[in-house]
Amino acid sequence: MTKSHEITAGFVPLLDSALLVVAKEKGFAESQDINLTLARERSWASIRDRLAVGHFEVAHILAPMPIACNLGLTAPAQEMVVPMALGLGGNAVTVSQALWQMMAACGAKDDLDARTNGAALRQVIVGKGPKLRFGVVHPYSGHNYELRYWLSASGIDPDHDIEILVLPPPDMGDALRAGLIDGYCAGEPWNTFGVLERDAHLVTVKASIWRSSPEKVLGVNRKWSERHPEALSALLRALYLASLWCGDRSNHDELVEMLSRSTYINRPTDWLRPALSGVLHIGEGATAEIKDFFVPNAKAATFPWRSHALWFYTQMVRWGHIEHTRDHQQIAGSTYRPDLYREALKSLNVALPSANSKVEGALRSETPVGSTGALTLGPDGFFDGSLFDPDQVDAYIAGQKRR
């Protein structure tokens, strides 16, 4: 009889914890001989710390955080590897009704277009006295780096023209209503909560700022991964099977009910359904349909692209979090481990990318790849039309410094 693998995974109650929840609740973990225990945490700092002291073997974690840990930017921290992403997209930028009205007067539209609404926000900031304040969930988060990228590419200096504060996602809607912040970048369901319960307004989404980009990943204690390769491979297979289930729209009603339970997100189903359907509440009773707002499986959504890791690294350099050196770049790039992903999924015979990296922004439309065309990637890239070539990191960093 096969001995089951005991694995404890930490998670923060957000929609993109779905793969871990489904792996446990629908039996995918059990089918791979895993006894999966899920432990809910309120903050990303707690997730990081409990990984560091061995309370968890793996965790649902912010995509840049394992890189920051490996670079020594946050302590305490064990070295981590990222053998899998937990989906693409899922974030949005939400502002107060007062700020939205000022942006609308400057040309902002309800289509959530990053370029149009970024230009409108710049006009508001140019003509406004006190600095606007925006919340993000952690300094080393996709939220922070994507918000900064959007602002900078819109002509707004995020270090001088506004203030950026760190707040737990559940506190953001209340902070917005109290006037402590003017906007925030967060994952779901907290943008939907802001719109439905706190008179907020969506202005743009991650899927517009950087299309087909990762938000949360599976962070794994490196030493544990090296001691238990079979257990890790089994978990990756379970999570991949869970991603297929999550990607099937016919399962979404059950998924929403599952995630809403008190042991998981513990929020109303009406707050969770919009992100899965892609039909988002944007404010004042209006909705907008966003293709690929949250992608759990399609388009290699769970593949740990090293180009994603290196882009996050360039942003750490850009905003003064780390000095750019060859060693630092190597550490960042090697944090994401497509080799572990491929080895684990070999027995499932799924279509996988043949490369470890890609030029971010090169795919302008959905593109079949590989000899069979069984895998479709894209569109990907940034709202301002720029490209990120992971083989040209020095040039990319130098170019950003001039912007």
Residues in the chain: 403
State both tokens at 21: 């929840």
Q: Alpha carbon of 52 to those of 20, 77, 79, 221: distances in Å?
A: 20, 5, 8, 8
Q: What is the mean pLDDT of the chain?
A: 95
For the stretch 278-313, pLDDT in tens is 999 999 999 999 999 999 999 999 999 999 999 999
pLDDT band at 402 (very low <50, low <70, confident <90, very high): low
pLDDT range class, residue 14, cuts 50, 70, 90: very high
Exposure b/e, 246-268, CB count within 10 A at least 16 = b? bbeeebeeebbebbbeeebbebe
Token pair of 5 as six digits: 């693998």
Is the pLDDT higher at 391 or at 370? 391
pLDDT tens across 70-113, in order?
999 987 778 999 999 999 999 999 999 999 999 999 999 999 99
Beta strands in 206-350 (DSSP E): 210-211, 216-221, 279-283, 286-289, 294-295
- pLDDT at res. 18: 98
What would the pLDDT profile of 211-266 be if each residue is shown by its tens digit? 999 999 999 999 999 999 999 999 999 999 999 999 999 999 999 999 999 999 99
User: What pLDDT band is residue 1 in, cutting at 50, 70 and 90?
Assistant: very low
* pLDDT digits 0-9 by tens, 332-360: 999 999 999 999 999 999 999 999 999 99
**Is pLDDT of 128 > 80?**
no
- Over residues 156-215, the pLDDT tens digits come to 999 999 999 999 999 999 999 999 999 999 999 999 999 999 999 999 999 999 999 999
Report d(CA 26, CA 23) in Å as an integer.
6
Cβ atoms of residues 145 and 173 within 8 Å: no
pLDDT digit string, tens, across residues 209-224: 999 999 999 999 999 9
